[in-house]
A and B are shown apart, each in its own frame.
Chain A
Amino acid sequence: MTGWLAAALSIFALVVVLAAIHVPFGDYMARVYSSTHHSRLERVTYRVVGVDPDADQRWPVYLRSVLIFSVLSVVALYAMLRLAPMLPLANGKDAMLPMQSLNTAISFVTNTNWQSYSGESLGYLVQMAGLAVQNFWSAAVGMAVVVALIRGLARTNTDRLGNFWVDLVRGVYRILLPIAFVFAVVLMVFGVIQNFSDTTVATLGGGEQLLPGGPVASQEAIKDLGTNGGGFFNANSAHPFENPTPLTNLIEILLLLAIPFSLPRTFGRMVGQVRQGFAILATMTILWAISVSLTVAAENAHAGVALQAAGAATEGKELRFGVPMSAVFGASTTLTSTGSVNSMHDSYTPFGGGMLIFNMGLGEVAPGGVGSGLYGMLVLAIVTVFISGLMVGRTPEYLGKKLGARQIKLASLYILVTPTLALVGTGIAMATEAGRSSMLNSGPHGLSEVLYAFTSASNNNGSAFAGLSANTDFYNIGLAVAMFLGRFLPIIFVLALAGSLASQAKVPETDGTLPTHRPQFVGLLAVVTVVLAGLVYLPALALGPIAEGLS
């Protein structure tokens, strides 16, 4: 079998599995968030933490709950990172220093999982009871927020959006935890480690090698499922203990795409029009397929003098995965908000690496992070309806909700946040010695490293052009600010939008209503997504990856 056929079959297998699961899984998630029943474990949890699970919240209260939970999670994680050596299972590792701890705590709470540390420098407990726990919570927060937005579209004449605590707990207990458990076991069977001791071995060649241990499988499963991406080890999913075989590689790609590609169905179910969800899914799928194809093609062409000399773009890539499935992982991890990597993006070809930056610049909506991808795409759908409405001179409406000045303002603010953070951050970095001195590579590729860092942080991705020395005060603080604002400002706008939509009555459909489930709308939405990101990021990309690729 040729490499091309094998790669095509691998991608086909991905698509087939996702196509098979998204309907039942999406329907299941819709039931999870619509059900009025509380399981026994949930009732116990609500009693212990003091929540009335049947009390619906108005949007400001829902938002306040999100923010309070997240900020206190940052505090708790920060404390744990600082106090790690005094806790059990510290494995002899030192505490993380203050600025890096702050960066790391914000990174994991915002579902970014940017890592300015290397996983090998942390003890077992802080990884499994600190970082991995936020992998669950931050994912469930994203899902709760999109569910609130969906309720805003589905409900009428109400100021109630649901109960954040209930959405949060259900997301973890009924979706993330059971699936993570099953796949932790699956990954373990195929070679991912799960133990509590490092092993020293006398190697065959007469040397010594210290093999790391750790509860990796349990963290690996939720790392991908929750589109978090923070590796247990520095090399992340390139590490053979995190991703030992081509099959586990495929499973990990599936895990990171599973929820984002199934949520459109959940949306369609909850608004009572399955075809609306299908249109969103179609848009996501088209953008994903194009991006994957372009990234694979760029890596296959292996442009760049060093890669040309080597004969293939294999620098930073694992032999067992091969170049195509490394590129598929790279495109998928940047199109979701995952940021785990199975190959080193810094060594990608100029256009391949540029594609990864552009993927994040799209706002991570194809299919995006768990929850955040769908709410990003719904905001873009609202903008698309508005633009189309301007062209035909009608009052824009989406799913029977009028899109007036308030809704469009909120959607516009949403769209402006992350590019502003990414580009202003990059600008400040390039203007200061502190920002520039961290670059490993020189020339346009150095700019790409910085641009990648701020785009990744602002969009809560977490992957890196890892040549950049990110453990400096400048980057620890600058990227922490980008991650925090890049997560919570959009959430504020989304929940405000949800509140304003829920309070409306539904307007009846007329001949002038733009249908939002037809191929025409799918095409419009895809174009708006690409054009918006293109307009914003093209100048910066021209100076970095494009300049490098054309020189």
Chain B
Amino acid sequence: MNGVTRQAWIAVRLIVVGALVLGVVYPLLVTGVGAVIASGSAKGSLVESDGEVVGSELIGQNFEGDQWFQPRPSAAGADGYDAMSSGGSNLGPNNEDLLAAVQERRAAVESQAGTGVFVPPDALTASGSGLDPHISPEYARLQVSRVAKANGLSESAVAGLVDANTAGRQLGFLGEERVNVLLLNLAIANARR
């Protein structure tokens, strides 16, 4: 065998070894370890209510109606929060469609919360994944009175639930303060009963 053929034969066998060791054994080993020490998160941090899975703590979802806290705008799928088509709008910083969308969203928030209120940026822009499970505490507080009214709850009770579902910066300095919309709405649903 000449050099090229010999090396090609080495390469072919190494590619097969790699597919088995790196492509099968390694991920299955990780899966096995995960099943033992991190089964909840490995399965997707699923959230249950009355024994039924209602979503993932990590993945945002659509909520229709005034009785729910609204998540950020989403570019995932035609209706937003399609977990099988993650992605952002990819609209540029000067894009006219993006400008129009921001203005429209601002008007929608103001029509509920009052003209001239400060609307936080996360309420006006879509996330990168389109599945952002969080909103800012500011955006949540802006929705308190609407949600309280629609559910027949007191504003202070709803505001208390917002505070209870607000996470600070991780380790005190990482990331941003945020409210998990699914967990907050779950708390609202439980309070309503």
Which residues of A pack against B, CB within 8 Å?
A: 1, 3, 5-6, 9-10, 13, 45, 48-51, 61, 64-65, 68-69, 72-73, 76, 118, 120, 128-130, 132-133, 136-137, 165, 168-169, 172, 177, 180-181, 184-185, 188-196, 199, 201-207, 209-213, 215, 217-219, 233-235, 238-241, 244-247, 249-250, 302-307, 309-322, 325-326, 341-344, 346-350, 353, 440-441, 443, 445, 448, 465-467, 548, 551
Contacts and interface: CB of A to CB of B under 8 A. Distances in A.
Contacts of A195: 31, 34, 42-44
Nearest to A180: B26
Contact of B90 (A133, A249, A344): A344
Contact of A10 (B22, B59, B120, B173): B173
Interface string B158-172: 000000000001111
B86 interface: yes
A133 B175 contact: no
Contacts of B72: 319
Interface string B73-112: 0001000010111111111111110110011001000000
B27 A218 contact: yes
A64 B7 contact: yes
Interface in B4-59: 4, 6-15, 17-19, 21-24, 26-27, 29-31, 33-34, 37-38, 41-46, 49, 52-56, 58-59
A130 B23 contact: yes
A219 to B, nearest CB: 7
Nearest to B170: A246
Contacts of B145: none
Contacts of B128: 235, 238, 316-318, 326, 341-344
A239 B128 CA distance: 8
B165 to A, nearest CB: 14
A345 B43 CA distance: 29
B58 A241 contact: yes
Given A73-B11, A315-B89, A346-B92, 7 more contacts: A68-B4, A205-B62, A239-B131, A314-B121, A316-B89, A316-B127, A347-B88
B151 interface: no
B9 A133 contact: no
Contacts of B87: 118, 234-235, 344, 466
Contacts of B120: 311
B41 A441 contact: no
A317 B41 contact: no
Contacts of B133: 240
Contacts of A310: 102, 121, 124-125
Given A51-B10, A318-B128, A344-B128, A118 B45 contact: no
A367 B89 CA distance: 30
Contacts of B11: 65, 68-69, 72-73
A130 B95 CA distance: 38
Nearest to A247: B170
Contact of B61 (A209, A219, A445): A209
B136 interface: yes
B41 A189 contact: yes
22 contacts: A6-B174, A10-B174, A48-B17, A118-B87, A128-B27, A132-B22, A188-B38, A190-B41, A192-B41, A201-B55, A209-B81, A233-B129, A240-B131, A244-B45, A246-B169, A304-B93, A309-B99, A315-B93, A317-B128, A319-B127, A346-B90, A466-B88
